[in-house]
Amino acid sequence: MSRELTRCQRIEQSILKTYRKELWRPFTHAIRRYQLIRPGDKIAVCISGGKDSMLMAKLMQLLQRFSDFPFEVRFLVMDPGYNEVNRRKIESNAALLEIPVTIFETDIFQVANSTEKSPCYLCARMRRGHLYSKARELGCNKIALGHHFNDVIETTVLGMFFGSQLQAMPPKLHSTNFSGMELIRPMYCIHEDSVIAWRRYNDLEFIQCACRFTESCAASGGGSKRQEVKELLRRLKQDNPDIEKSIFNSIHAVSLDTMIGYKTHGELHSFLEGYDEKPPVEESEGEE
């Protein structure tokens, strides 16, 4: 007679079986394709309490369980000033998913919301700094964030439309302020729709954006540029179902020979640099 599975075991089974194609395979594909984890790594898996970071934590836990090479994980929750309801929800979800979290407090919300200029930018920078510091304190050499496929697409479009630059979100990068530390994005190839489907299938409830500044903007009728881009992509997808895939593939195949300018290591370069010494470039379709 087979024993009845616990709820956590059923949730794990949904990742490995029910949503294997949508979650587990793209997750392990990103790990391999972008070489995100190496033997001996000690990774701080950063949990904000939302659906993405909670799923990432479970994926990383399962990967460590089944991996054919050793690496360590620490599940890190930074409390930037959550209200009591959100704090309890994070703790209860971690217990439900059997994720042993380490929680530490900061005053990020208080500091960021007291400034009138770019509170979101300040909050993001402070969050990243606190996470790197705590991860290093715990002996980690990497932090893992829960950005997914749609975050990558939206960031690319946001940069073009509102930042006047072609800028993507890389699957990993070295920290400029914390020597020897690296940031990785293990959910790089997972679609947000799949995360939502998994959450609904398991009847899970995670916190939404807990930022007080964002809540006040929503209450006053304001909206974010990222939300505008989400809506735009949703409309475009009705005519071209593969548009997100095309954008994703395009950041893997940038043709620098056709770019008027590009920036690397903070330095801007022009196509005019050594223009007369460069070999001819084949004309693209549409040129006259």
The size of the chain, in residues, is 288
With cut-offs at 50, 70 and 90, classify the pLDDT of residue 2.
low
With cut-offs at 50, 70 and 90, classify the pLDDT of residue 221.
very low
Structure tokens given for 131? 């996470």
Range of the domain at 173: 7-219
pLDDT at 3: 80
Q: State mean pLDDT over 11-18.
A: 98
**Winning range, highest mean pLDDT, from 129-143, 201-215, 221-235:** 129-143
Under a CB-based contact definition with an 8 Å cutoff, are residues 88 and 81 in contact? no
pLDDT at 117: 66
Under a CB-based contact definition with an 8 Å cutoff, are residues 112 and 130 in contact? no
On whether residue 43 sits in a domain, the answer given is yes
Residue whose pair of structure tokens reads 């898996």 in the numeric block: 45
Q: State mean pLDDT over 128-134.
A: 92
Residue whose pair of structure tokens reads 């994980």 in the numeric block: 73
The conformational region for residue 267 under phi > 0 = left, psi -120 to 50 = alpha, else beta, is: beta
Under a CB-based contact definition with an 8 Å cutoff, are residues 80 and 109 in contact? yes
On whether residue 85 sits in a domain, the answer given is yes
With cut-offs at 50, 70 and 90, classify the pLDDT of residue 72.
very high
On whether residue 118 sits in a domain, the answer given is yes
Lowest-pLDDT choice from 136-145, 240-249, 276-285: 276-285
On whether residue 144 sits in a domain, the answer given is yes
The dihedrals phi and psi of 232, each to the nearest 5 degrees, come to: -60, -50
Under a CB-based contact definition with an 8 Å cutoff, are residues 36 and 6 in contact? no
Residue whose pair of structure tokens reads 């616990």 in the numeric block: 6
- Segment 142-182, tens digit of pLDDT: 999 999 999 999 999 999 999 988 999 999 999 999 999 99
On whether residue 246 sits in a domain, the answer given is no
pLDDT at 210: 58
pLDDT at 116: 67
**How many structural domains is the chain composed of?**
1
Structure tokens given for 47? 């949990």
CA distance 172 to 145: 10
- Segment 85-101, tens digit of pLDDT: 999 999 999 999 999 99
pLDDT at 220: 40
pLDDT at 1: 52
CA distance 210 to 60: 24
Write out the DSSP string of 52-89: HHHHHHHHHHHHHHH-SS--EEEEEEEESS--HHHHHH
Instruction: Tell me, yes or no, if the pTM score tops 0.85.
Output: yes
On whether residue 59 sits in a domain, the answer given is yes
- Segment 249-288, tens digit of pLDDT: 999 999 988 899 999 888 999 999 988 888 886 665 554 4
| Among the listed residues 207, 262, 219, 227, the one whose alpha carbon sits nearest the alpha carbon of residue 77 | 207
Which CATH number does the domain housing residue 71 bear?
3.40.50.620
The dihedrals phi and psi of 79, each to the nearest 5 degrees, come to: -95, 105
On whether residue 229 sits in a domain, the answer given is no
On whether residue 178 sits in a domain, the answer given is yes
